[in-house]
Structure 1
Amino acid sequence: MEELGLRERKKRRTREAITDAAFALFRESGFDAVSVVDIAAAAEVSKPTLFAYFPTKEDIVLRRFVDGDGSPALVVRERRPGVPALRALRQSYLDRLARRDVLTGLNDSPSAITFHDLLYSTPTLMARLSGYMIDRERDLADELLASGAVSDGFTAHIAAAQVFGTQRILGHHNAQEVRSGRSADDAYPAAVTRAETAFDVLENGLASRVG
């Protein structure tokens, strides 16, 4: 067990070295001007080693923030008994805002700003992120159905698409505020208000807001 722990720590250090080197190069030269060879050299790893951790250059940017344990499907699966799925997803999103999760857009750290600058200026990155989100949306739909939150697959997919569309729009608004120069702390109250409003719409439907 100790040997496995050491191996995992070494893998984590290598992964962090690659992403740190990549982000430093991207900040200096932009995404397209930096090659995988450049990143491997800066991180002091071989090209095959880099590809063992990240199949594509886009993955180096995205997996730093996208991979994690807080997926909406997991939130639904692990919610307390009696808590509706949308209520659990609302609270999860509010918690992510409070801890400045990069994917909420409400993070003004240098690495987060680099991430969003790269994302909004690089079509291949946005396309790759869309692929990640489609996979997670499908996972959420499957979990909504499996957990009994909805009774049929069609409704599950509609609900999952609504959740992910809402979070994408909230993240875009938050990132735009931070990119315009506002601090994450200053933007936080308005971000919470938008999130509460958005989830009210999800939970109650559009009839009260769309004529």
Structure 2
Amino acid sequence: MGADVSAAGDCRYPCPFSRQQNPLLRKIKSVKIDRHNLRILQVLQTNARISNLNLSEQIGLSESACLARVKRLTSERYIREFLAEVNLDKVRHAEFYVNVALKRQDARTSESFRRAINDIPQIVSCVKMSGEFDYMLRFVCPDAADFNRVSEQLLANEDAAISRMTSHLVIEKTKPFTGYPLELLFQD
């Protein structure tokens, strides 16, 4: 059963999507992002190598004002880091999304699972999910045989406490990630 949400967007029962229940959401709402900061974030998420001069021209601010805003957005963790996206189509690889259900639903089991996956380089991301499964992992491996070997080792690892896994091979990236819909996310 889903959370009962009022017209104001707050849950009537304790849930992580309620501004009252989640301190992260309260903090996000307290920080105002003006149109210049929004535009800076939009430009940088698609081109992190842009020069400060070109960025300032696109935003309509002086170079020093633009640089100060980028530094502030970085220090406040709106910008976590600047990365290069490697084109996986240029290298041999197999990509899988894997749903994982744990044997028990408690903090100790979750922490043990996190430690078990932390040093596996083929697991490039992990998110905790609601629903039938507890986590979704993204694997990037040289081939299916490597994925099979790593996933079997993970299943056999008692510390991982996995009761069930389902895997899904990525055949095509129909809509690749090109950035977050920031204008929608920062609407009041």
**TM-score normalised by length of structure 1:** 0.29
**TM-score normalised by length of structure 2:** 0.31
Structure number having the greater helix percentage: 1
* Greater Cα radius of gyration, structure 1 or 2: 2
